[in-house]
């Protein structure tokens, strides 16, 4: 079973953390929650 990383917040910090985690550990399952309608797309 894959290790799941849950990120709360989809702006700069959240999406940077998600992309860094996935680059370093591609096997991780990343789930991000964002309360608003938009996420950062340049992290
Ligand atoms: C007026 C203003 C102008 C700025 N101008 C610039 C600029 O020109 N250039 C620049 O580089 N920086 C600028 N900044 C700074 C930049 O906006 C912040 O450094 C950056 O947005 C911080 O990102 P963050 O992900 O840490 O936090 P935030 O942007 O605060 O993101 C947090 C995210 O978490 C979400 N969230 C919070 N609680 C929950 C929850 N319980 N469940 C789900 N989602 C949740 C929020 O909806 C939000 O999307 C500015 C900031 C302000 C206030």
The 10s digit of each residue's pLDDT in 8-38 is 999 999 999 999 999 999 999 999 999 999 9
- 40 phi-psi bin (left φ>0, alpha ψ -120 to 50, beta other): beta
CA 1–ligand 1 middle distance (angstroms): 33
- Residue 33's pLDDT is 98
Question: Who wins on pLDDT, 17 or 43?
Answer: 17
Q: Which residues line ligand 1 (CB under 6 A)?
A: 8-14, 33-36
Alpha-carbon dihedral sign for residues 24, 30, 36, 42: positive
- Residue 42's pLDDT is 83
With contact defined as beta carbons under 8 Å apart, do 37 and 13 qualify? Answer: no
Cα–Cα distance, 5 to 11 (Å, whole number): 16
């Amino acid at each position: 079973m894959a290790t799941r990383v849950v990120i709360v917040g989809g702006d700069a910090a959240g999406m940077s953390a998600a992309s860094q985690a996935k680059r370093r550990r591609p096997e991780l399952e990343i789930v991000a929650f964002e309360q608003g309608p938009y996420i950062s797309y340049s992290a």
